C-alpha cells in the first residue's frame, strides 16, 4: 500500500510542538512562572496583533524589526495591523490604556508574559518566524535596585534550569541629554568614514547613528572599534545611576563585563541595557545572546502615559533556550509518562477496566488503556510505548476477587492489593 503523503506543510519558519516535546516547553514555562511569582510578577496576556503604530513609533521606525521583519497588513476595516514582533510595546500599551499607573495600583507594577511573537527573518536553528518569548516588565519604576533585580531574576531563572557558563554584558545609554550628546559625537566621528560604511550603516548614520555600533559587517566593526565611548558622554546623573546598578550586581557577586558598544536593537532603550550570552556548543561556538533587555524611560509617555514614568524588562526566546538546555542540562528534559496502564485479558475485563480507569482518574491517577482490542502481549508493549510506570492485567479472576496485581515497568516489583484499597489511596501503591 502506498504511503500517505501530506497535502499541506507548515509555513516556512514555523514548527509543530509535538507530544513528547511539549512537556519540555511546559516544564520551562512552569519554572519561569514560579520564578516570576517569587519576584512579585503577575501574568499579563495581550493580543497577538496591535495597531501598526504601537510598534513602528516605539520600537523604531528605522529599526530592522519595523523595516524588514514585521508582519503587517490592512484588515477588512482598513486598519493597519501588525503581528507583535516583541512583547514590551504591547504590554506598555495595555498598562497605559487600562490606567494601571493610578494611585490605587502597586508601584512598581510588575508583569510577565509568555507567548508567540512574529518576525520575518531567515529561519535557522533556534530562530523561527513564529517564536515564543518569555519576558517581564517592571513599570512605574526608576531605581538602580530594580535594574539589578531584573538581571538577577533572569539569572535565577537560568540557574533553576541548570544552565551555567553564562556571560552577562551591561551598558548604559544614559538619559536623553546624554544620548543626544553622544549621538552628535558619534556622527562627527563616523561622517569622514561615510563612503566606507556598508549600505545599511549609511542609512543608519542619517536616521539612528547608534545602530551603526550594532552592525555585523566586519568593515563597519573595524571603523566603530575606535569610535568614542558612550560612557564618556554620560552626564553626572546617568553616570551615577549606572555605577549604582553595577554596585548592586557586585553585591550579589554577578560576573559581568561593561560593553560600551552594546546598543540593543530597539530604539526605546535608555540607561541600563544588558545581554546574557552563552558560548554553548549548541550554537556552534562563540557567544550567542539568549536573553536581553533594558530600561525604557520614554516609552510609557510615548504611548500616552505619564511623562515621569519609566520601566525596565527583558525578553528571551524559548526555542533558543531549549537548544541550550539540550546541550547544558539534558537531565532537565522530562519523559512524559503514565502512572498506570490497564491491560484487559478479555472483553469482560475491558469493560471493567474502562470503569476502573475513570475512577482512578478522579482519584488523581494518570492512567490509560487499549481501545483497539489488542492481544495481551501487545497491550503490555503499548504500556511501554507510553512510558507507563506500572501496569496491571484485568480478567475474570480480578473482577471476581476484586483484587489486582500491580507490576512495575521500571523495576522488578509487583504487589497484590484490593481494588477498594487502590481507589482509597492510589498514590501509595503507584509511587
Task: Give the model confidence (pLDDT) of 285-309 as tens digits.
Answer: 778 899 999 999 989 999 999 987 8
Among 281, 303, 331, identify where a domain stops: 331
**Angle (nearest 5°) at CA 161 between 167 and 287:** 25
Supply the pLDDT for residue 174: 94
- Whether residue 167 is found in the same domain as residue 183: no
Supply the pLDDT for residue 266: 67
Per the DSSP assignment, residues forming a β-bridge with 138 are: 110, 312
- Whether residue 45 is found in the same domain as residue 57: yes
- Whether residue 66 is found in the same domain as residue 139: yes
Cell numbers for 237: 546623573
Supply the pLDDT for residue 152: 98
Residue whose grid cell is 512579585: 40
Cα–Cα distance between 114 and 319 in angstroms, integer?
A: 12
pTM score of the predicted model: 0.89
Burial class (CB in 10 A: 0-12, 13-18, 19+), 386: middle
* Strand 270-278 to 130-139 pairing: unpaired
* Domain CATH number, residue 159: 3.30.930.10
- Whether residue 347 is found in the same domain as residue 399: yes
- Whether residue 163 is found in the same domain as residue 195: no
Q: Is residue 265 part of a domain?
A: yes
Q: Is residue 251 part of a domain?
A: no
Supply the pLDDT for residue 338: 94
Q: Which residues, at least 6 apart from 26, have a Cβ–Cβ distance to it below 8 Å?
A: none
Helix (H, G, I), strand (E, B) or coil at 119: coil
pLDDT beyond 90 at 321: yes
Helix (H, G, I), strand (E, B) or coil at 404: strand
- Whether residue 270 is found in the same domain as residue 188: no
Confidence of residue 355 (pLDDT cuts 50, 70, 90): very high
Among 167, 199, 234, identify where a domain stops: 234
Per the DSSP assignment, residues forming a β-bridge with 136 are: 112, 314
- Whether residue 166 is found in the same domain as residue 182: no
CB-CB neighbours of 385 under 10 Å: 9
* Strand 109-118 to 80-83 pairing: unpaired
pLDDT beyond 70 at 241: yes
What one-character DSSP code corresponds to residue 3?
A: P
The pLDDT tens digits of the residues spanning 133-184 come to 999 999 998 899 999 999 999 999 999 999 988 999 999 999 989 989 999 9
Q: Is residue 250 part of a domain?
A: no
- Whether residue 70 is found in the same domain as residue 206: no
Instruction: Look up the domain containing 208 and give its range.
Output: 176-234
Q: Is residue 14 part of a domain?
A: no
Among 283, 314, 331, identify where a domain stops: 331
What one-character DSSP code corresponds to residue 429?
A: H
Supply the pLDDT for residue 71: 95
- Whether residue 412 is found in the same domain as residue 347: yes
Annotated binding site for L-histidine: 86-88, 119, 133, 137, 264, 268-269
- Whether residue 155 is found in the same domain as residue 70: yes
Supply the pLDDT for residue 2: 57
- Whether residue 157 is found in the same domain as residue 184: no
Mean pLDDT of the region 335-349: 94
Looking at per-residue pLDDT, the higher value among 115 and 3 belongs to 115
Cell numbers for 153: 531574576
Let me know: does 404 contact 416? Beta carbons within 8 Å. yes
How many CA atoms are closer than 13 Å to the CA of 43, on its beta-carbon side?
11
Q: What residue spans of 144-198 are helical by DSSP H?
A: 144-161, 176-190
The count of domains in the chain is: 3
- Is the four-CA dihedral 355, 360, 361, 366 of positive or negative sign? negative
Mean pLDDT of the region 328-333: 86
Confidence of residue 284 (pLDDT cuts 50, 70, 90): confident
What one-character DSSP code corresponds to residue 127?
A: B
Supply the pLDDT for residue 164: 83
Ordered DSSP codes for 9-74: -PPTT-----TTTHHHHHHHHHHHHHHHHHTT-EE----SEEEHHHHHHHH-TTSHIIIII--EEE
The pLDDT tens digits of the residues spanning 48-79 come to 999 999 998 877 776 778 888 999 999 999 99
The pLDDT tens digits of the residues spanning 407-423 come to 999 998 999 999 999 99
Q: Is residue 3 part of a domain?
A: no
What one-character DSSP code corresponds to residue 306?
A: -
Supply the pLDDT for residue 67: 81
Q: Give the phi and the psi of residue 72 in degrees, each rounded to 5.
A: -135, 155
Q: Is residue 278 part of a domain?
A: yes
Confidence of residue 45 (pLDDT cuts 50, 70, 90): very high
Annotated binding site: 86-88, 119, 133, 137, 264, 268-269
Cα–Cα distance between 183 and 336 in angstroms, integer?
A: 53
Supply the pLDDT for residue 62: 67
Supply the pLDDT for residue 5: 80
* Domain CATH number, residue 383: 3.40.50.800
Q: Is residue 413 part of a domain?
A: yes
- Whether residue 271 is found in the same domain as residue 157: yes
pLDDT beyond 80 at 204: yes
Helix (H) or strand (E) holding 328: helix 318-328
Q: What is the mean pLDDT of the chain?
A: 92
pLDDT beyond 80 at 339: yes
Q: Is residue 156 part of a domain?
A: yes
Amino acid at each position: 500500500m502506498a504511503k500517505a503523503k501530506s497535502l499541506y506543510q507548515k509555513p516556512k519558519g514555523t514548527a509543530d510542538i509535538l507530544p513528547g516535546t511539549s512537556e519540555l516547553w511546559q516544564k520551562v514555562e512552569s519554572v519561569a512562572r514560579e520564578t516570576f511569582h517569587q519576584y512579585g510578577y503577575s501574568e499579563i496576556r495581550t493580543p497577538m496583533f496591535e495597531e501598526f503604530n504601537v510598534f513602528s513609533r516605539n520600537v523604531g521606525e528605522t529599526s530592522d524589526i519595523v523595516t524588514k521583519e514585521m508582519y503587517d497588513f490592512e484588515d477588512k476595516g482598513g486598519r493597519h495591523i501588525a503581528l507583535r514582533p516583541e512583547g514590551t510595546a504591547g504590554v506598555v500599551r495595555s498598562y497605559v490604556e487600562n490606567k494601571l499607573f493610578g494611585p490605587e495600583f502597586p508601584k512598581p507594577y510588575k508583569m510577565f508574559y509568555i507567548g508567540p511573537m512574529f518576525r520575518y527573518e531567515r529561519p535557522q536553528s533556534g530562530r523561527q518566524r513564529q517564536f515564543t518569548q518569555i519576558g517581564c516588565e517592571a513599570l512605574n519604576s526608576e531605581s538602580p535596585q530594580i535594574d539589578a533585580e531584573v538581571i538577577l531574576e533572569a539569572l535565577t531563572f537560568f540557574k533553576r534550569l541548570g544552565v551555567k557558563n553564562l556571560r552577562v554584558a551591561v551598558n548604559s545609554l544614559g538619559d536623553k541629554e546624554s544620548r543626544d550628546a553622544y549621538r552628535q559625537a558619534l556622527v562627527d566621528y563616523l561622517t569622514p568614514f561615510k563612503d566606507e560604511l556598508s549600505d545599511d550603516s549609511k542609512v543608519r548614520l542619517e536616521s539612528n547613528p547608534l545602530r551603526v555600533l550594532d552592525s555585523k559587517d566586519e568593515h563597519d566593526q573595524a571603523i566603530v572599534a575606535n569610535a568614542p565611548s558612550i560612557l564618556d558622554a554620560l552626564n553626572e546623573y546617568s553616570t551615577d545611576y549606572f555605577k549604582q546598578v553595577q554596585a548592586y550586581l557586585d553585591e550579589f557577586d554577578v560576573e559581568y563585563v561593561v560593553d560600551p558598544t552594546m546598543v540593543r536593537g530597539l530604539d526605546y532603550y535608555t540607561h541600563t541595557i544588558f545581554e546574557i550570552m552563552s558560548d554553548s556548543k549548541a550554537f556552534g561556538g562563540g557567544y550567542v545572546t539568549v536573553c536581553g533587555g533594558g530600561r525604557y524611560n520614554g516609552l510609557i509617555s510615548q504611548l500616552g502615559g505619564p511623562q515621569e514614568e519609566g520601566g525596565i524588562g527583558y525578553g528571551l526566546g524559548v526555542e533558543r533556550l531549549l537548544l541550550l538546555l539540550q546541550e547544558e542540562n539534558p537531565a532537565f528534559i522530562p519523559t512524559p509518562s503514565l502512572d498506570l496502564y490497564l491491560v484487559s485479558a478479555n472483553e469482560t475485563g475491558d469493560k471493567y477496566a474502562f470503569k476502573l480507569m475513570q475512577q482512578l482518574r478522579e482519584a488523581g491517577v494518570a492512567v490509560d488503556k487499549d481501545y483497539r482490542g489488542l492481544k495481551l502481549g501487545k497491550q503490555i508493549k503499548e504500556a511501554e510505548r507510553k512510558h507507563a510506570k506500572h501496569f496491571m492485567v484485568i480478567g475474570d479472576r480480578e473482577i471476581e476477587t476484586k483484587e489486582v496485581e500491580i507490576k512495575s515497568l521500571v523495576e522488578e516489583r509487583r504487589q497484590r492489593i484490593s481494588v477498594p484499597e487502590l481507589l482509597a489511596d492510589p498514590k501509595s501503591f503507584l509511587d
